[in-house]
Amino acid sequence: MKISFIWDSFPDLVSRVKKLIHMFSKTCQYAIKAVIYIHKQSLEGKKVGAKEIGQEIDAPDAFTAKILQVLVRQHVVGSFKGPTGGFFVDKSHESKTLKDVVLAIDGDQLFQGCSLGLNQCSEENPCPLHFEIKNVRTKIINMLTIKSLKQLAEEVGDGTTVLARLA
Amino acid sequence: MKISFIWDSFPDLVSRVKKLIHMFSKTCQYAIKAVIYIHKQSLEGKKVGAKEIGQEIDAPDAFTAKILQVLVRQHVVGSFKGPTGGFFVDKSHESKTLKDVVLAIDGDQLFQGCSLGLNQCSEENPCPLHFEIKNVRTKIINMLTIKSLKQLAEEVGDGTTVLARLA
DNA sequence: ATCATAAAGGATAAAATTATCCTTTATTAT
DNA sequence: ATAATAAAGGATAATTTTATCCTTTATGAT
């Protein structure tokens, strides 16, 4: 029997409170967390299932599975079907960075195009934010490429704290 | 009689092509463009209506009107009802910046909270992106506050090119 | 060969964002 | 006062994003 809470009556209000983020879509955040988790487990030679990943990163598992499909297609992580199957990374994924994850999931929105959505915006005919945005983007790209996913995974604490850190 | 085009059959594909942006929500982009346009017109002492604004910035007018309601409530711009009414800015809005617009529309998502959506993320227990993101945010805030909206409006070309520049 | 397991994929649903329409309220001109 | 104008506000719809469920396909264990 499902217990219902008072805030279930105000879904929009709750969502507004929850949504204190941005820059990456929610899907992309899940993807980043999932990939780091996979890397962490692969460091210990373990393959992991979509369900487990979903639980560890606090994301719905079916949705996590969908995201993982994309990441596999884009060769950000690898997968095997069947028993003993799951998601993993190997040598071939070692140099992948967060930028690869963001590109696979959100596309190049964050890196390309006018941030005001102007059609005419260019170096010659820049929008009021053009050069500033360019600057910010350089920083973002730097942030997303300065370390490999493997390195990031190594920096995230040991097994016992992963959940706390990625949920 | 409405003419229908081949791409009307592929709404999702078309939308994917159109969406080459991000960092600001679409609503926020409209807001920025609208506010700059209002400033520009106010420089010439003109008040402008929601419909006109919508057309100039290439946004649906009814939706533009909604956005303007918020901006008025947050004192980013002023408005008057009735004939000769419209939206405008005066001395009291002179020091407003893009950050005020972004805050009014998107809230502080872009500035606050963990970019990966982690609950435990803090200075003491930082997520893998914590300090990098902090860096990027400093840049973004700088970009959004370094010039007042008035200054930005003054930099956008003369009346004849506004449409091209803000559409 | 058969069965169990787990990813892949398709179809559908819920929630959030973006967009439209229509009524009400305030203000000005006549 | 009355009519005309434009913003404010409410209700609703379309689109996009996020989420769920169920079937199919591949793989390993027995």
Residue A3 domain-assigned?
no
pLDDT at A20: 38
pLDDT at A39: 95
pLDDT at B61: 94
Residue B27 domain-assigned?
yes
Question: pLDDT-derived band of residue A11, with 50, 70 and 90 as boundaries?
Answer: very low
Residue A7 domain-assigned?
no
**Of the listed ranges B29-33, B84-88, B124-128, the one predicted with least confidence:** B124-128
Residue B30 domain-assigned?
yes
Question: pLDDT-derived band of residue B162, with 50, 70 and 90 as boundaries?
Answer: very low
Rounded mean pLDDT of chain B?
80
The CA distances from residue A156 to A22, A148, A160, in Å, are 22, 13, 11
Residue with tokens 């009107």: B65
pLDDT tens track for A148-167: 999 888 877 654 444 445 55
Interface test with A, best of B109, B118, B152 (most A CBs within 10 A): B118
Residue B127 domain-assigned?
yes
Type of residue at A87? F
Please state the ipTM of this predicted complex. Answer: 0.78
pLDDT at A65: 97
Listed in sequence order, the residues at least 6 apart from A14 whose beta carbon sits closer than 8 Å to its beta carbon are A7
B14 is near strand C: CB distance < 7 Å:
no
- Quick check: helix, strand or coil at residue B66? helix
Residue A67 domain-assigned?
yes
CATH number of the domain to which A136 belongs? 1.10.10.10
pLDDT at A167: 59
**Protein CB footprint (7 Å) on chain C nucleotides:** 4-10, 15-22, 25-29
**Of the listed ranges A47-56, A90-99, B3-12, B14-23, the one predicted with least confidence:** B3-12
Residue A1 domain-assigned?
no
Q: How many angstroms separate the CA atoms of A59 and A27, rounded?
A: 9
Contact B136 A139 (CB under 8 A): yes
* Best CA proximity match to A87, nearest among A44, A53, A43: A53
Q: What is the domain extent for residue B111? A: 21-157
pLDDT tens track for A136-148: 788 888 888 988 9
Residue A6 domain-assigned?
no
pLDDT at B31: 94
- Quick check: helix, strand or coil at residue B4? coil
pLDDT at A88: 97
Tokens found for residue B156: 């956008």
pLDDT tens track for A93-140: 999 999 999 999 988 877 887 777 777 788 888 877 788 888 878 888
pLDDT at A106: 83
Question: pLDDT-derived band of residue B127, with 50, 70 and 90 as boundaries?
Answer: confident
A48: which strand partners?
A: A87
Q: How far apart, in Å, do the first and last CA atoms of chain B sit?
A: 27
β-pair type (A78-80, A86-88): antiparallel
pLDDT at A22: 65
- Quick check: helix, strand or coil at residue A82? coil
A85 is near strand D: CB distance < 7 Å:
yes
Instruction: Judge residue B73's burial from the number of C-beta atoms within 10 Å of its C-beta, 0-12 exposed, 13-18 middle, 19 or more buried.
Output: exposed
How many independent structural domains does chain A possess?
1
The CA distances from residue B134 to A60, A112, A140, in Å, are 28, 22, 11
Q: How many angstroms separate the CA atoms of B16 and A113, rounded?
A: 13
pLDDT at B9: 45
